Structure 1
Amino acid sequence: MPFTARPALVALCLALSCAAPASALMQVSIVESGADVVVSYSGGLDTTGLDLPSTSVIGAVAGISPLLGTFVVYSDDPIDSYQFALAPGDGWEPLGAGGVSLATSFLGDAFGFGFEDVDDGDPRRQIVVPTGYVALTPLSGEVTFAGASLGSLGLTAGDYSFALPSDFIAISIASASTAVPLPAAAPLLAAGLGGLALAARRRRKG
């Protein structure tokens, strides 16, 4: 290989060796939907840097505690719970001032995040996943709090981040008033497009 080609090859090798895989990102969306509050979650978690989890069976239940910055979905199957210390300068961040509220219905994978031992002055982060969870495996689910609002649950609208040693969970809380509405002109536009399609079909038949 000519010597002049080596710098480009070296640069390519360095780029490939230094490239790191994109961090997994679990997204949690908490929104008012009609007369309910719906929590949906999807994504994977990078468990790198976490100690071995503890395994337990809690039973099927889901709930949220804004003051403790906690949301969890348990199933009847065993779950793994990882606890880890907060990083230096990393604070406990509540999602509002509300206490514990149980969901009226839920489906999906076991999943949860929150804080433990907040009252002891040494809060620790915790995540919950299905037993035997393999890092980056997608998880998803939906939880409904029927007849509730952000206010009744004590949730504060905004964007939050729950840090893990090698990853983070993005949490978005939005009220019905901040949801993006369907443009008023959209139904008229749809009707217009339908009319154009009908006219085109008639023209082809003629």
Structure 2
Amino acid sequence: MKYIITTTVCLLFIAGCTTRNFTNTPRTAIEQLLLSAAVDNAVAKFHVPQLAGRKTYLDFSNLNCIDAEYVKAAVRARFAQIGADLVKDPEQADYIAEISSGALGTEYKSSLLGIPSIPVPGSPTPLPELALARGVEQTGIAKLLVFIHADGEVVTTDHYYGKAERSEGFILWFRFQPTDDIRKAWEQADNKLKTESPKN
């Protein structure tokens, strides 16, 4: 019996002597994916037929928002996609396109059916919540302004909106997810890559 106890204690010490540190980035991947998806959805609406085949300079001097570098890359890619000939020198351009952001952020809301967490006087630990049902929703929202002009004349001024949502709910111990634009987007991207990948 003594041998069994000694062996068990030794095994517990051996099993418990390895630890691993876990760290998290300041911003969650979900937040970043919601914002980039909202930008993608806004940029996908850009359609200026006049720019096809014309030299265009993109002016980002008024773009002041979070993840500005991603916004710039997405805008460049979209303008190239619609046929604009992007140039680095505004003096060489037929058109100047000024890009600015009216909004780029997330909204969060939650709902609870049940009893919320209740503070206990004199105790640092509150009573835990008792939830029969809970719902959470996070939305990424983007608003971009595209102002295009040439030789001092306005060609077009348009606002483009995009959003991406992710929501989930719980009823007792059961989880359901009515909306997940992030998963939808990466599944579409994966399917596109599989379709376009050359077959051996």
Q: If the length of structure 2 is used for normalisation, what is the TM-score?
A: 0.21
Q: Which has the higher helix share?
A: 2
Bigger Cα Rg: 2
Q: TM-score, normalised by structure 1?
A: 0.21
